[in-house]
Chains A and B, each alone.
Chain A
């Protein structure tokens, strides 16, 4: 059942649950962070409206910089601002930033330990009709591996807002991943967001499997958990919105309690959330695992929700992964 301590949206399973894109949370979070701290500045690479940096640009025009289509320059200019007392957020699409400018992020932001926040929009399959060129399903992997970097993947617009505000208060590099498409509001204003802390969103008295999810797919994970419960398969669902630093204790505790783990992410199954969880479990508590995500493939054009189904990240796929991992748990 839903963990009431998480204070989730009561309409979470309703057909008319409110739907908003996580990028909206970025736009709102920027306004709050900008009002709280005059050193917050925003840089945009010709994608101000679609990354929702526009409201900030209008409210704080002196603290907004239009970079043009120049993501490498944007990252390195931000690095210079970040070591000069500013708190720059750089806004673009994930394929371009951190896709195109990875080396500048590595050297001038991470190694240099500059106080820059990378807002990666239109990430993942959910970018839909634009096609695979614009669907970065590799960004968590390339950011997670960088020393000094923190990685947030908010599950809904509210958590995205909280993550944006939290990023401005952290000294050092932060990566936040946002989606273009609307997705269900899972949390409420009261739901906590603490960097590095996961949230148990679904609990059972005797859980057999832990489902660890990030991003909007947390909603599919919760739906799968609810359907499985009806079939007398009991689970935990964890919202792992910080991929780095990973809440290792929560991962290990869940594995100890359940003995089997399924990870769920809109990302390649290599190097993202699943990889991070597997690294921890391999060291601390090996357990059978299954991975929901893109199976070493690029996406394609299509309606976002159809793509999620086609590429194996639907509720049905999560349930199948649970059944598979439970079979392994009983035989291995």
Chain B
């Protein structure tokens, strides 16, 4: 059981998520390439994972009993790197090396380069399979760790994803919790125009998964959903997290053109200014 969120902790997490968003903007403008919308959209969930949900030790990233967090849609790795740096896996200054030569922060995450990222990912559709392998190994070895897997909505175009979905249900991997970033965009446009995915809930239910839907920007809803997922005995759980791509930066929000590009220097300044204003809003909300 993960502790329910009380107001003080919520304020702390929301402030942290805002800092993670600022780090994302700073990283991307420095890198000059990369993805903006997805990382911003998932900042709340990654903050909740690294600062409330996961059993982990930033000083011992290979601790055998750690929870596994697999990022299948590797292109949103700036949010993972930012959350990891804030959690103490590596210095915040290293975030500025994203996508640069000799960096541990590869453009798509690489397991053997950066301890703690669990898998090498980027090519879509195969992350859930790898998470399934980890959950299966835990069952075989009677290990208590949980396996979490972040998947995108767009990668449900890929057959490999559904192969993993079937397998996880067959072996009743109740120690596996997948979290879908349902932000409705992919590179070429809106998911329902590119390749209609709905109804995702019905699809997963008919594949014998337990399905929950949440507001992906509500840390409370996310923590409650994870607790419900852990309580489900007979099936893996999919948490469909409805998110706003580009969340927190108004000119990026919901625009698929921000899927795969970084902000310019001017845009980054505007974004950081807006995010700093949000910080004040969080403080007044929790007074």
Contact = CB atoms under 8 A, between A and B. Distances in A.
B110 A76 contact: no
Contacts of B166: 68, 70
A76 B138 contact: no
Contact of B129 (A65, A73, A84, A111): A73
Interface in A94-118: 103-104, 107-108, 111-113
Contacts of B232: none
Interface string B156-196: 00011001101100010000000000000000000000000
A86 B130 contact: no
Contact of A103 (B118, B123, B163): B123
Contacts of A129: none
Q: Which of A62, A86, A111 has the most CB of B within 10 A?
A: A111
A112 B132 CA distance: 16
A136 interface: no
Given A73-B164, A77-B133, A108 B126 contact: yes
Interface in A1-49: 41
A185 interface: no
Given A73-B129, A73-B160, A111-B110, A86 B122 contact: no
Interface in A244-275: none
Q: Which of A65, A67, A81, A84 has the most CB of B within 10 A?
A: A84
A124 interface: no
A67 B167 contact: yes
Interface string B127-167: 10111111111101100000000000000000110011011
B216 interface: no
A279 B123 CA distance: 31
B163 A84 contact: no
Contact of A79 (B110, B130, B135): B130
A112 B111 contact: yes
A84 B133 CA distance: 8
Contact of A72 (B126, B127, B140): B126
B247 to A, nearest CB: 29
A248 B27 CA distance: 45
Given A107-B120, A107-B122, A113-B112, A80 B132 contact: yes
A83 interface: yes
A82 interface: yes
A85 interface: yes
A316 interface: no
Q: Which of B118, B133, B166 has the most CB of A within 10 A?
A: B133
B137 A86 contact: yes
Given A82-B133, A104-B126, A111-B120, A76 B164 contact: yes
Contact of B134 (A67, A68, A84): A84
15 contacts: A68-B167, A70-B163, A70-B166, A72-B125, A72-B129, A72-B160, A73-B167, A80-B119, A80-B130, A80-B131, A86-B137, A108-B126, A108-B129, A111-B120, A113-B111
A76 B141 contact: no
Contacts of A329: none
List 9 A-B pairs, minimum CB-CB distance, nearest first.
A80-B133, A76-B129, A73-B163, A84-B137, A80-B130, A70-B163, A112-B120, A76-B126, A81-B133
B125 A62 contact: no
A78 interface: yes
Given A76-B164, A113-B111, A81 B137 contact: yes
B112 A79 contact: no
A279 B278 CA distance: 60
Contacts of B130: 76-77, 79-80, 83, 108, 112
Contacts of B133: 76-84, 86, 88
Contacts of B138: 84
A83 B70 CA distance: 12
A63 interface: yes
B122 A83 contact: no
B159 A79 contact: no
A63 to B, nearest CB: 7
B136 A65 contact: yes
A67 B131 CA distance: 15
Contact of A108 (B112, B120, B171): B120
Given A78-B133, A86-B140, A112 B119 contact: yes
B198 to A, nearest CB: 23
Q: Which of A67, A78, A80, A111 has the most CB of B within 10 A?
A: A80
